């Protein structure tokens, strides 16, 4: 016996990028770029936090706080004064980390301002609901 989910899958064909239209292709490109940026920021956050913990001997929270201050370019104040190794680490974070961090912030601001963020969330929610449908027919 064929389940309703299998019937739905047989009637709903996946669309190729050509059938999405320019706005959907552009949306997918932007979303992919945002995912890559988030991955880069996550790696930098983890590496920077671990770096401060090793170089300065700080706690996890102090190290994370310092990394976020550095990457966001706020520069409020250092947790405790930095050693020479800590200063070198901070300079490396500024040179390698501030750009990806600001890029991701700009990407999400753009998504929110242009209204794409709501579309992304709505589309994912709809896809999840469709995948949970059982014993239903689409007429």
1 in any annotated domain: no
Could you read off the pLDDT of 86-126 as tens digits, one per residue? 999 999 998 988 888 888 888 878 777 766 666 666 777 77
The residues near 59 (Cβ < 8 Å, ≥ 6 apart) are 53
Number of domains the chain contains: 1
Per-residue pLDDT, 118: 67
Note whether residue 50 is domain-resident.
yes
- Per-residue pLDDT at 20: 42
Q: What is the mean pLDDT of residues 57-69?
A: 93
Q: Say whether 107 sits in a helix, a strand or coil.
A: helix
**What's the pLDDT band for 23 if we cut at 50, 70, 90?**
low
Give 127 or 66, the one with higher predicted confidence: 66
Q: How far is CA 115 from CA 33, 110, 111, 119, 122, in A?
A: 17, 8, 6, 7, 11
Q: Which domain holds residue 45?
A: 22-132
CATH number of the domain that residue 89 is part of: 1.10.287.70
Whether residue 138 is contained in a domain is answered as no
User: How far is residue 41 from each of residues 38, 89, 95, measured CA to CA in Å?
Assistant: 5, 16, 13
pTM to 2 decimal places? 0.61
**Domain for residue 6, yes or no?**
no
**Binning pLDDT at 50, 70 and 90, where does residue 6 land?**
low
Q: Please report the pLDDT score of residue 31 as a whole number.
A: 76
């Amino acid at each position: 016996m064929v389940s309703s989910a299998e019937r739905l899958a047989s009637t709903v064909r996946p669309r190729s990028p050509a059938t999405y239209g320019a706005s959907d292709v552009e949306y997918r490109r932007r979303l992919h770029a945002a995912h890559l940026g988030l991955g880069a920021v996550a790696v930098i956050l983890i590496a920077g936090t671990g770096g401060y913990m090793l170089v300065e001997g700080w706690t996890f929270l102090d190290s994370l706080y310092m990394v976020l201050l550095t990457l966001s370019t706020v520069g409020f104040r250092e947790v405790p004064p930095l050693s020479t190794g800590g200063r070198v680490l901070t300079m490396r974070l500024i040179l390698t980390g501030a750009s990806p961090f600001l890029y991701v912030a700009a990407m999400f601001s753009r998504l929110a301002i242009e209204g794409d963020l709501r579309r992304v969330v709505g589309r994912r929610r709809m896809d999840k609901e469709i995948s949970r449908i059982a014993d239903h027919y689409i007429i």
